[in-house]
Amino acid sequence: MKKERYFFEKLARTYPNQNDLIAFYTSNFLKENTWCTEMKDHVYKDWQGRLQSVSYLFSEDCKTILDQAENHDWEFTDLFKTRNTFLYDLYHSDIIEIETLCLFEMMLQKRWMQLHSSQDPLGVYENLTHRVYKYRLLLEYLGIQPSTKMAENAIKVLTPILNCDNI
């Protein structure tokens, strides 16, 4: 008998509900734990916690985006231009979470980054956009949608406060 069989039998006992088992696999695949012996229960529990606190994570990421945008002299309207890679760079650097990018795409109802192959010769951004799109589909399947409160908070945090001294 193969030793992987015991692993799968243990998983079947631990997660008798099919949806929980699918979520376990999904969370580990997202962390790129694709071999059965690499899959860990704590990865699943961490992912569940992230999904339960997605509103808080989104709010914190908006504050981080504002700080990073101010450091680079970016305006709010510049963040979502078609060829701007700023938010994807923040995600790729592990500064913001993938859920934040997915929620922005859901709010805007579009995928905003489109680069030509000459601008992305290694395909890094292309892979990131595909990953975000697939994860967005998963969030939509799980019923996670951006709320009006999240959108209002994002606009409030990311829109710079006007200086009344010049009026």
Do 122 and 152 lie in a common domain? Answer: yes
Predicted pLDDT at 167: 46
Give the tokens for residue 40.
């860990």
Please check whether residue 50 is in contact with residue 57, taking contact to mean a CB–CB distance below 8 angstroms: yes
Give CA–CA dist 45/41, Å, rounded: 6
How does DSSP assign 49-102, residue by residue? HHHHTHHHHHHHHHHHHHHHHHHTT--GGGTT-TT--HHHHHHHTTSS-HHHHH
Do 41 and 74 lie in a common domain? Answer: no
Predicted pLDDT at 1: 55
Do 35 and 65 lie in a common domain? Answer: no
- Please name which of 95, 96, 70, 83 lies closest in space to residue 160, comparing C-alpha atoms: 70
Do 73 and 99 lie in a common domain? Answer: yes
Give CA–CA dist 42/44, Å, rounded: 5
Torsion of CA 123, 127, 133, 138, to 10 degrees: 170
Give CA–CA dist 41/48, Å, rounded: 11
Do 47 and 62 lie in a common domain? Answer: no
Do 33 and 78 lie in a common domain? Answer: no
Q: What is the pLDDT along the chain (167 residues), one digit of tens a residue?
A: 577 788 888 888 998 888 888 889 888 888 888 888 888 999 999 999 999 999 999 999 999 998 888 888 877 777 777 667 888 889 889 999 999 999 988 888 776 666 666 666 777 778 888 888 888 888 888 888 888 888 888 888 887 644 444 44
Host domain of residue 3: 1-52
Predicted pLDDT at 138: 87
Residue 166 lies in a domain: no
Please check whether residue 76 is in contact with residue 159, taking contact to mean a CB–CB distance below 8 angstroms: yes
Residue 165 lies in a domain: no
Do 64 and 130 lie in a common domain? Answer: yes
Residue 167 lies in a domain: no
Looking at residue 76, which CATH number applies to its domain? 1.10.220.50
